[in-house]
Amino acid sequence: MKMIPSCREITEQASDYLDQNLPPWKRAAFRMHLLMCIYCRRHVKHLGLTISTLGKIAAEENARENSDIQQIVELIKQELEETPGQKGEDCR
Amino acid sequence: MNQQLPSDDELIPRLLAHDEAAYTQVVSAYHGLMVHLARAIVGAAIADEVAQEAWLAVIKALPRFERRSSLKTWILRIVSNTAKTRLRHESRTVSLEDTLGDQANIDPSQFNTSGRWASPPTVWHADTPDDLLASQELRACIDTTLRALPHLQRAALTLRDMQGLDMESICKVLEVSESNGRVLLHRARNRIQAAIEEFYQ
C-alpha cells in the first residue's frame, strides 16, 4: 500500500478527515498530501466552508421558525385523555 | 428554544404518567428538530403533519420504549419511520440502495488516471459562510440542491451539519449502519460543495 493518498482519495476521505474520523496513520498521510498539494488544500477548505455554511443556514432557519408548540401540546393532551396513563391516574 | 431539559430518567416516568408540563418541555425541545427531519424525508408540504403524527405514535409506543437509545434518538426514529411510511403510501421510495448506489461521488472526470486533479477546484471568492450567503443567487442554489438530494442523504446532512446530532444517533434514527451513514453524509456534502463550485465557475 502506498503511503500518500492520491488527490482522488483525498476527496473521498475529506469528509471523514474534517469529522476527525480517520485513523491516526491515515490522518497523517492525508496531512502529508495537503502539505504538497494546493488543489487538495483548496478542496478541503471548500468542504469545511460548505459545512459551516449549512450550519449558518440552519441557525437562520431555526431562529425564524416558531412552530406552534402550544398547538402540539393541545393535540397531545387530547390524545392522552383517550389513552390510559401508566399509573392509572391523571396527574395534571 | 432548547431550555434545560431534565434527564431521560426523570422525564420518561413523568411522560408515562401523562404529566403535561413534561410533554410541554419535550415538545419545546424536540418538535423543531422533528419537523426538520420530516422535511428532509418527505418535503416541506407535509412535514408538519408527519411530525404531529409522530407525536401520537410516541404517546402510543412510550410504554414499550426499552431505552436502548436516548429518548431524543428514539423519538427521531419514530419521525423517520413515520416519514418513510408516508413516502411509501405515496409510492415514493426511500431505499438505501437507491441513495447509495447510483449517486456518483465526485465527478471522476475531474481526475486523471493517476488520481491527480485534471480539473482542479476553482477559487471561491468567499472565506466565510457570510461571504457565501451574501449572494441571494447562491443561497437559492444551495437551497435547490438541498431539496433535490435523495431523502436519506438530506436527512443525514440535516441532522449532522444543520442540527448538530452525533453520527451514532443519526445512524440509529435512520436505521443505517455507521459506514452507510458516513457515505450518505459525505455524498450529500459533496453535492452541496459541487453546487457552490459550479456557481463560481
Which of A8, A18, A43 to mutate to probe the B interface, most B CBs <10 Å?
A: A8
| pLDDT tens digit at each of 92 positions of chain A | 568 999 999 999 999 999 999 999 999 999 999 999 999 999 999 999 999 999 999 999 887 776 688 889 999 989 888 877 665 444 44
Select the residue of A67, A86, A90 nearest B35 (Cβ to Cβ). Answer: A67
Residue A92 lies in a domain: no
Domain hosting B182: range is 96-200
Q: Which residues of B touch A30 (CB under 8 A)?
A: none
Q: Pick from B89, B123, B147: which residue ends a domain?
A: B89
More confident residue, B44 or A68: B44
For residue B147, the SS3 value is helix
Q: What is the ipTM of this complex?
A: 0.88
Contact A73, B24 (CB under 8 A): yes
Tell whether the model's pLDDT for residue B1 goes beyond 60.
Answer: no
**Residues near B25 by beta carbon (within 8 Å), at least 6 away in sequence:** B3, B5, B6, B11
Of all residues in chain B, the one with the smallest CA distance to A73 is B24
Say if A58 falls within a structural domain. Answer: yes
Angle at A15 between CA A13 and CA A21, to 5 degrees: 80
Residues B191 and B128 in one domain: yes
- Asked whether the beta carbons of residue B23 and residue A76 sit closer than 8 angstroms, the reply is yes
Q: What is the CATH number of the domain that holds B194?
A: 1.10.10.10
Decide if pLDDT at B198 tops 70: yes
Q: Provide CB contacts within 8 A for B170, sequence distance 6+.
A: B156, B159, B160, B181, B185
Tens digit of each residue's pLDDT (9 = 90 or more) over B60-94:
999 999 999 999 999 999 999 999 999 888 866 66
**Does A79 sit within 8 Å of B56, measured CB to CB?**
yes
pLDDT of residue A63: 79
Q: Which of B89, B118, B144 lies at the terminal end of a domain, its last residue? A: B89
What's the rounded Cα separation, in Å, for the pair B32 and B45?
15
B interface test, pick of A30, A72, A78, A80 with most B CB neighbours within 10 Å: A72
Range(s) of the domain holding residue A21: 7-81
- Look up the CATH number of the domain holding residue B39: 1.10.1740.10
Residue B104, pLDDT > 60, answer no
Q: What is the number of structural domains in chain A?
A: 1
Better-predicted residue by pLDDT, A69 or B157: B157
Specify whether the CB–CB gap between B145 and B177 falls below 8 A: no
CA distances in angstroms from B90 to B97, B102, B151, listed in the order given: 19, 22, 14
Residues A30/A10, Cβ–Cβ less than 8 Å:
yes
Q: HSE (CB half, 13 Å, CA atoms) of B41? A: 34
Closest CA to B98 of B199, B180, B195: B180
How many domains does chain B divide into?
2
Identity of residue B13 = P
**Given a cut of 90, is residue B194 above it in pLDDT?**
yes
